[in-house]
Amino acid sequence: MYDVIVVGASVSGLRTADLISSEGYKVLVLEEHEKIGKPIKCAGLVSWRILELLPALPKEIIVNTVNEAKFFSPSGDFFTLKSKKPVYVIDREKLEEFLAKKALKNCEIRLSTVFKGLRYDKRCVKALTNEGSFESRILVGADGANSSVAKFLGLKQPSKILFGLQATVKGNFEEGTVELWFGRKLAPNFFAWVIPESNKKARIGLATNEGSIYFFRKFLKKRTGKFVKPNVAGVLRLGLMKETVHERVLLVGDAACQVKPFSGGGIIYGMIASEICAEACKVALEKNKLDKKSLRSFYESVWKKRLAKPIKIGMLYRKVLSSLSDSQLDLLFASIKRFGIKFLENLDMDFLQ
């Protein structure tokens, strides 16, 4: 019998497991893949908050530091925003390996173990897997945008889905500058990006709701003159979930859609929610209050108080941008370039405030 089972060795899953197990609770992490950090499903661009959330983060995980972003309109015109605080390009695989190493000090991780469903008992919840069943007082679903835990329990995830592709490309790039490209003919309903690892190598990708490989190939040829096979692929599910708890079960990270709708980034929100999730699990275990109502009070109401507003604001921005034609986007970018630079530079890139 475990105190907590975490399904998914993601950033949020591993962080949650580490925080709970470090308090003396017996924790098991179930991961369907055979290696931590694979496959990579992340562009790896994060704000300065990563070091606030993980002060002991090894230096080698930070690949590059950028301080400005160029926003390109459909016509190719652009404006530049300077960042008041550092923005980091990280190695996502090494980040998950680091978090797994920390978690392993106090908890157990089982790889190649696929979650198949769960069954309730009077005293526990049983996680059913290809390697048998495991009993726990609480189960945390940290199994991504297409969460099997959420599906099994009928916790409805938003239907807004984007498909992302990315490749690491050699070329000439501005080492301290991220590029963001917008347009219906370029990356409909989202945007394309160029994230430099150095002045000679960058992560180039995009996300869209349809035809991802077509638009990815087109953008790569436009930006670099060549096509490189993508080495990163992932699903973005955007929106605010109505429910992220069930009896003895909590969702965290991408499984709970704790993702920035305006950028698709999930690391910072997932890390914040992991701390709240871990604390909620500890309170629930101490008080032996594991019902849905209690977990909603301990966890869902707390994380939504912190993240629901920026998610809603981000969805509004996303809706407005997606509704504009290319000519309207050109006009918007021209207006921002003339009047709105200072306003945007003062916005927090995580919370839009």
Q: Which domain holds residue 85?
A: 2-345
- Residue 98 forms part of a structural domain: yes
In a domain, 336, yes or no: yes
Domain-located, residue 131: yes
Q: What angle do CA 336, 340, 342 make, to 5 degrees?
A: 140
Q: What Rg do the C-alpha atoms of the chain give, in angstroms?
A: 20
CA 102 to chain centre: 20
Structure tokens at 141: 């679903």
Show Cβ contacts of residue 206 under 8 Å, excluding neighbours closer than 6 positions: 164, 165, 166, 181, 186, 187, 190, 191, 192, 193, 212, 215, 216, 219
Count Cβ atoms below 10 Å from residue 100 Cβ, excluding itself. 21
**Residue 351 covered by a domain:** no
In this prediction the pTM is: 0.97
Give the pLDDT confidence score for residue 39 in this predicted structure.
93
Residue 352 lies inside a defined structural domain of this protein? no
Residue 22, classed as helix, strand or coil, is coil
Contact call for residues 96 and 103 (beta carbons, < 8 A): no
The CATH number of the domain where 144 resides is what?
Answer: 3.50.50.60
pLDDT of amino acid 71: 98
Residue 281 lies in a domain: yes
**DSSP string of 84-133, one letter each residue:** EEEEEEE-HHHHHHHHHHHHTTTSEEESS--EEEEEE-SS-EEEEETTEE
Tell me the sheet residues that pair with 80. 70
Q: How many domains does the chain have?
A: 1
- Residue 350 forms part of a structural domain: no
Q: For residue 204, is it within any domain? A: yes
β-partners of residue 4 are: 27, 138
The single-letter DSSP state of residue 297 is I
Tens of each residue's pLDDT in the chain, 353 residues: 999 999 999 999 999 999 999 999 999 999 999 999 999 989 999 999 999 999 999 999 999 999 999 999 999 999 999 999 999 999 999 999 999 999 999 999 999 999 999 999 989 999 999 999 999 999 999 999 999 999 999 999 999 899 999 999 999 999 999 999 999 999 999 999 999 999 999 999 999 999 999 999 999 999 999 999 999 999 999 999 999 999 999 999 999 999 999 999 999 999 999 999 999 999 999 999 999 999 999 999 999 999 999 999 999 999 999 999 999 999 999 999 999 999 999 999 999 98
- With residues binned 3-state (H G I as helix, E B as strand, rest as coil), the percentages for the chain, rounded to 5, are 35, 30, 35
Q: How far apart are CA 46 and CA 248, in angstroms?
A: 32
Q: Are 247 and 168 in contact (CB under 8 A)?
A: no
pLDDT score of 353: 82
Q: 150, 180, 317: which is closest to 245 by C-alpha?
A: 150
Amino acid code (one letter) for 309: K
